[in-house]
Each structure stands twice: as structure tokens, then as C-alpha cells.
Structure 1
């Protein structure tokens, strides 16, 4: 999926970031879709992401 994302455009960068975030957090599609900007915080080591699970 990442190989097909056109990262030269903003939408492709967004799509690649969402795929990588979902993989890194072992999140389902519904959990990734439910994320808000407030759920992501920049930290010293990268980003802290709060994923809400049912």
C-alpha cells in the first residue's frame, strides 16, 4: 500500500502516514478513522497517539 501512495502530493503523504500509524499502533480502520488532532501529541521521542478501543 505504501508503494502505491504518491508521496509527492499532500494526499499521498496523508495516506502513507495513516497506513503507517495504523500499522504501528495495531489499530483497526475504525480506530484510525476516529482519531482527532487532539489525540496526537508531539513528544521528545516522536509522537504520542491515544487510540480509543472498544
Structure 2
């Protein structure tokens, strides 16, 4: 997502990130992680997230 959304507002990224998160992990992501990850995406950073799916 970083290459697609770099430079955009965090508030614009958050709903897209929530939707994509649900599609991949089958769950939801909430603040503060949602805002933290959206800020990294807006800054163009790449990062890894580990998800435990039960």
C-alpha cells in the first residue's frame, strides 16, 4: 500500500486499510495501530505485520 498511498492523508488511508485488513486477516484493526500503520503508509515506509489468525 505504501507505493499506492504515499503522500496521502492518514485519514484517507485509514478506511482503505481497514477494508483491506478485513479482506486478508478476516478481522478488524483499530486505533492506535490503525493510525500508526496509516501514518507509515502515508510516509511511504514499508513494514511487516504479523497476524495471528485463530
TM-score by length of 1: 0.40
Higher Cα Rg, which structure = 1
**What TM-score do the two structures reach when normalised by structure 2?**
0.40
More strand per residue: 1
